[in-house]
Structure 1
Amino acid sequence: MSTLPQDLTQQLHDLYRHLHAHPELSMQESVTATLIEERMGVLGWRTLRCGGTGVVAILENGAGPVVGFRADTDALPVAEETGLPYASTARGTLPDGTDVPVMHACGHDTHITAAIGAATLLTERREDWSGTVVLVFQPGEETAAGAVAMLADGLWDKAPRPEVMFAQHVSNGLAGTIRLSSGPAMAMADSLEVTVHGTGGHASRPADTVDPVLLAAHMVVRLQGIVSREVSAQEAAVVSVATFHAGLKENIIPSQAVFTVNIRSLEQSVRERLLAAVRRVLSAEAAASGAPEPDVRELYTFPLLANDPAETARVTTVLANTLGADLVAPRPAQMGSEDFGALPDALGIPGVYWFFGGLAQEVIDAPEPTPSNHSPHFAPVLEPTLSTATTAAYAVIRSHLA
């Protein structure tokens, strides 16, 4: 049941459905950015573009603290399978020119909606507070490009510098609940593209070739041993290979194979050991096959996201008092990654990031695996998801204003 005014609830539902049906890929969120500018302009907020498709909305309301809040705006190359009447049928083009389906499979449409909802409450209730609110609608979170792009474009020279920053993310937890971590909240991540070189030839004469498929397969298998055999059980680490491409025909051994590696950790020392081990394995397997050294290209890097402990304690109290103590609980650090931390880190200010649940109890209790973020079946229920996220954002921002 929504705790917001009925007219605002309906507006947010309509906005969410529209955003969900019209997703855009990372750093291509032009239509989304224009929509945000229009909505925030109607509310009376000053807006400016930053980092290409990023939008900053500012509401100055007398003397007082400056508070920042970030909402990410990009979607993913996923074909939606939710069956919703407002399901996405959109398509987009990846940087390499590949045509792909697009879906808000990570729920960033809920983030935009909740931020605009909180902005609406702040505007309507501006006689109750004083200070300045800076809403950062950030592009490119999924590729770790957005925060970097906004900072490089002079975000904190163009916008008032906040004293504290907040952000939130929908999860596959129970709608209406909030979970947050104190200290490390989300992992560092490194993604690498590995190009394995061999010598191609006829599939009937493999002895005349250096088979990059077999070589890359050995690399992939050996990489899986790094975490289980080189990292302590008390240390968090993940090494995953999620793409593998080679060859065009079954009777031709290709001259190269390409795969990608995703590496995650919560400690810098572990990260360094993982990266060194990955490169050692790649080099050694190539040498064992008599192949050239593989080419390794860094695709992106996510920083560690760490919540300020003191500010987290204060935010937890605010959320518990607002939503109910039974709905707010601690959450262990996640191996997923986020670039939000780059925004407060650039100013040396505290940041706090929390998760709000998005699924109905019956979905969580179903015998099938619970759909998670990035799944083609991930479909947050509108309520109480949107009212909880909007209320949480408003309450936390408002609690830091005069």
Structure 2
Amino acid sequence: MDTQRARAVLTDLKSALDWQEDFYRDLHAHPELSHQESRTASLVADRLRESGYEVHEQVGGTGVVGVLANGDGPAVLLRADMDALPVKEATELPYASTATADDGTPVMHACGHDVHVTCLLGAAQLMASATEQWKGTLIALFQPAEEVGDGASGMVDDGLFSLIPRPRVALAQHVVPMRAGEVATQSGPTLAAADSMRITVHGRGAHGSMPQSAVDPVVLAAMIVVRLQTVVAREVAPGEPAVLTVGSIRAGTKSNIIPDRAEIQLNVRTYSEQTRSAVIDAVERITIAECQASKSPREPEFEMFERLPVTDNDPATTDSVAGTFADFFGDRAGSLGQWAASEDFSNLATEFDIPYTYWGIGGIDPEEFDRASKAGRVAQDIPANHSATFAPVIQPTLTTGTQALVVAALTWL
């Protein structure tokens, strides 16, 4: 890409986007949970119309798609996610969220999706204001329900393909705990596949004073949890990334009652289908064996939910974006590495059978990050995504994220 074109599009970024910082603060103060992003979607649709886009609303529930056709050329899809998390904010920012869901659950933009929305709206406006610098079709897609893993497929199932031309490439970004102002790419498997599993094991209930009359599902569940710790340590090859986390055990109602069942919830993160299958098979094998060892009266029950694919960045597409970033950002462009987080963005691209890449932008105050890095305390001192204290600095985060989307899109347009 000719970086001169990108600089021409971005010339008036600060003056043209004088609304952007206040818009971000407003989004952050008014987060909405997955599938409930109605206010956010309305604001997005209004902004896209003001910029001259053909706008499609309520795609897959609350999804919004803006299409800007500008002559012959490829179509490029840029995606941002819109939903927030059930987290009580603890940032003490003047624009901190005090929002709650209908059931009283606190809600916070603890993963930076408010950054993503604001940056994509800015990029969409700048591209619409500089159509003499590019040809083709720009698709700005605002996706609901990333946090529960079904927003992308929901938009596809609701007829997304009939609303937009087939993109040449799909592009997306995520704010991460790096120095604000930096961008980072990664070729190949970048974000992990995620598989959540709910396991119900059965026992035989009894009075706590008569354990000989019971099959104790609490002890059974505890043995399963301990044994599951060996799966990654002893069944996955060294150097092959995998994570198995038991996040919940529920059993019983009273200290002197042995219950008749226990529920275990766990999450598996892997980067290849072979490892994914092997770990899930091991979980089921160990659970069944422990149930047999405990004389469980019934077979265990397994339920898979919230399943997300590997984000496997196309090498050629990633190389193109990385080269463009290096030209534009200089030494602020680097390598992202593999992250054990998960995403459903790739479902948009795989359904279209098109290449994609997904990169990171930094959101942490550079001085704060450097202090933590120098002390070897990044993990301890820098709030991570999904933390109640996760708070990207507004600048240069918004400017960098907006620039990255424009520069990446112009690699093809």
Which range, TM-score by smaller chain? Answer: over 0.9
Instruction: Return the alpha-carbon distance in structure 1 between the equivalents of residues 227 and 408 of structure 2.
Output: 46
- Compare 226-235 and 25-34 and name the one that shifted more: 25-34
| Structure 1 match to 2:75 | 66
Q: 1:126 to 1:26 in 2, by over 3 A?
A: same
Letter in 2 for 1:398: L
C-alpha displacement of 1:205: 2.6
* Moved segments of 4+, more than 4 Å: none
Could you say what secondary structure the match of 2:111 adopts?
coil
**Within 5 Å, which residues of 2 pair with 1:170-181?**
170-181=175-186
| Structure 2 match to 1:384 | 396
Letter in 2 for 1:278: V
C-alpha displacement of 1:202: 2.5
Verify the 8 A CA contact 1:241 1:260 in the aligned structure 2. Answer: yes
Instruction: Return the alpha-carbon distance in structure 1 between the equivalents of residues 92 and 250 of structure 2.
Output: 31
C-alpha displacement of 1:4: 5.8
Question: Please, which of 179, 184, 198 is the counterpart of residue 193 of structure 1?
Answer: 198
| Structure 1 match to 2:268 | 263
Question: Please, which of 79, 96, 106 is the counterpart of residue 87 of structure 1?
Answer: 96
| Structure 1 match to 2:5 | none
Could you say what secondary structure the match of 2:396 adopts?
helix
Corresponding position: 1:301 with 2:307: yes
- Compare 355-364 and 115-124 and name the one that shifted more: 355-364
Could you say what secondary structure the match of 2:121 adopts?
helix
C-alpha displacement of 1:142: 1.2
Corresponding position: 1:216 with 2:225: no
Letter in 1 for 2:96: A
Q: 1:201 to 1:363 in 2, by over 3 A?
A: farther
Listed as ranges, the gaps of 5+ residues in structure 1 are: none
- Compare 270-279 and 338-347 and name the one that shifted more: 338-347
TM-score of the superposition, structure 1-length normalised? 0.94
Instruction: Return the alpha-carbon distance in structure 2 between the equivalents of residues 139 and 71 of structure 1.
Output: 9
Letter in 1 for 2:64: V
- RMSD of the TM alignment (CA)? 1.7
Identity of aligned pairs, percent? 46
Instruction: Return the alpha-carbon distance in structure 2 between the equivalents of residues 209 and 8 of structure 1.
Output: 71
Q: 1:379 to 1:261 in 2, by over 3 A?
A: same
Verify the 8 A CA contact 2:83 2:147 in the aligned structure 1. Answer: yes
Letter in 2 for 1:279: E
Listed as ranges, the gaps of 5+ residues in structure 2 are: 1-9
C-alpha displacement of 1:168: 0.2
Could you say what secondary structure the match of 1:103 adopts?
coil
| Structure 2 match to 1:20 | 28
Could you say what secondary structure the match of 2:290 adopts?
helix
Could you say what secondary structure the match of 1:75 adopts?
coil
Instruction: Return the alpha-carbon distance in structure 1 between the equivalents of residues 160 and 229 of structure 2.
Output: 40
| Structure 2 match to 1:35 | 43
- Compare 212-221 and 269-278 and name the one that shifted more: 212-221
Verify the 8 A CA contact 2:320 2:411 in the aligned structure 1. Answer: no
C-alpha displacement of 1:85: 1.0
| Structure 2 match to 1:243 | 248
C-alpha displacement of 1:167: 0.3
Question: Please, which of 53, 76, 96 is the counterpart of residue 85 of structure 2?
Answer: 76
